[in-house]
Amino acid sequence: MDYVLILLPLVLFLIAYKFLFSSKTNLPPGPTPFPIVGNLHLIKPPVHRLFRRFADKYGEIFSLRYGSRQVVVISSLPLVKECFTGQNDIILTNRPHFLTAQYVAYDYTTIGTAPYGEHWRNLRRICSLEILSSNRLTGFLSVRRDEILRLLTRLSRDYSGRVVELEPLLADLTFNNIVRMVTGKRYYGDEIHNKEEADLFKKLVTEINDNSGASHPGDYLPILKMFGHGYEKKVKALGEAMDGFLQKLLDECRRDGESNTMLSHLLSLQQDQPKYYSDVIIKGLMLSMMLAGTDTSAVTLEWAMASLLKNPEVLKKAKAEIDEKIGEERLIDEPDIVNLPYLQNVVSETFRLCPAAPLLVPRSPSEDIKIGGYDIPRGTIVLVNSWSIHRDPKLWDEPERFMPERFEDQEAANVNKLMVFGNGRRTCPGAALGQRMVSLALGSLIQCFDWEIVSGEEIDMTENPGMAMRKLVPLRAVCHQRPIMNSLLA
């Protein structure tokens, strides 16, 4: 009898599956899906490279089946523009439903997961005007300065003339910057506020990233629930743990009155508008900032340093620009960046060749639409392979070469071809913060140290096979402090 209970749903599923695929929907071409698993058996990391091979075979728009869910992948700039302009941009403003968004992101109510509508527009307004405005980012400049100075001091004290692995130091820098902006606390490196709290935060962030719904079969194969698959239970427990952590921070700030943090500002808004600025809304904004605003900047900085060491003529040119414009009497500052065009071009070229998120955050149409002449049904998971577009020879000369000079040609408007922060209405609201942090930190590393490859080693540019495009082999380099460090440490 137990076997009948198991087999009957399978038979019904296969019948429904055959019915779905016998429809006359004009889907984009793609590999033939298998029953139940669809094309999941073909998905091998790194996915952005696999998708580029699929695009070469099936075209710039192709379809896949992730278990029970339809997926469409976009791999050309004209199709991206078709997706994210006009009415299509509104239709494609929604996000697909994943279990992590349900249980960790407060039932799809955070700015990254909420459907398009009044609530999402309000969240966007809060981010743009209240917590990520130009004035507020400038108000937190002292935090960025302090964290960068701590990094430079640590490099000088512990690694000058020695080999340093940069990834953990860069991660400390970017995580501390965001967490201090949000809560006023330091969780990484020296002088942390509470080691137990810091360790819990690290653990929760790691587990959330590892259980992202965009990459987990539990979101695509509902049949797994029949066999006791524990993914949903695990994600639910993770969401409860993170909520408890954030609530503790919120209560602490409310009790102690921590000033000049994003959290304290949100609590002051709560006093004026308690019905809207609920604890859930505030915790959702905290969660979005602390997850989305940290890892990507650290990953980008490591790729930038690796690219400079692999292209020493570019590093030499960037250093010469800083020495000429800033000198050795003071440390580079954020207002200087606008006068350092080559440094900006180095950052742009890093975004192009090494995007921290090679696939843009998924979208999902709220109604049936057509893209590239093909039918895209409501609820489809729409992915944009920005990594592939950034290396498209139709858009870029010598696309595989690290060449910041390509962004000097303003007429070509190459910078408008970049989509590292997304596209359309759901462009990342933290883009300005990310650019400020990467530019200032990278400029400081170039100004304060001479860098060289470890003797006998080569810079390995292989990507780690994950959703975030980290380096597979962590960057190791030798740094020698320059004279400016003497005055900084005096």
Report the DSSP beta bridge partners of residue 480: 450
Instruction: State residue 453 phi and psi, 5-degree precision.
Output: -70, 145
Placement of tokens 């910078």 in the chain: 415
CA-CA-CA-CA dihedral for 199, 205, 210, 212, to nearest 10: 160
- Parallel, antiparallel, or unpaired for β 369-371 and 476-481? unpaired
Report whether 251 contacts 227 (CB < 8 A). Answer: no
User: Could you give the CA distance from residue 223 to residue 265 in angstroms, rounded to a whole number?
Assistant: 45
User: 428 labelled as ligand-binding?
Assistant: yes
Query: 3-state class of 434 per DSSP?
Result: helix
Distance CA 460, CA 476 (A): 10
193: left (phi over 0), alpha (psi -120 to 50) or beta: alpha
Report residue 129 as tokens: 């005007």
111 neighbors 120 (Cβ within 8 angstroms): yes
Block residue for tokens 């592939």: 388
Contact 125, 165 (CB under 8 A): no
Rounded Cα distance, 159 and 161, in Å = 6
Token pair belonging to 334: 């954020």
Which bin fits 157, alpha (ψ -120 to 50), beta or left (φ > 0)?
A: alpha
Determine the Cα–Cα distance for residues 123 and 133; give it in Å rounded to an integer: 13
Least Cα distance to 26 among 372, 298, 307 occurs for: 372
Place of tokens 């590292």: 420
Nearest residue to 290 via CA among 250, 335, 251: 250
SS3 string, 339-373, reads HCHHHHHHHHHHHHHCCCCCECCCEECCCCEEECC
Annotated binding site for heme: 428
Annotated binding site: 428
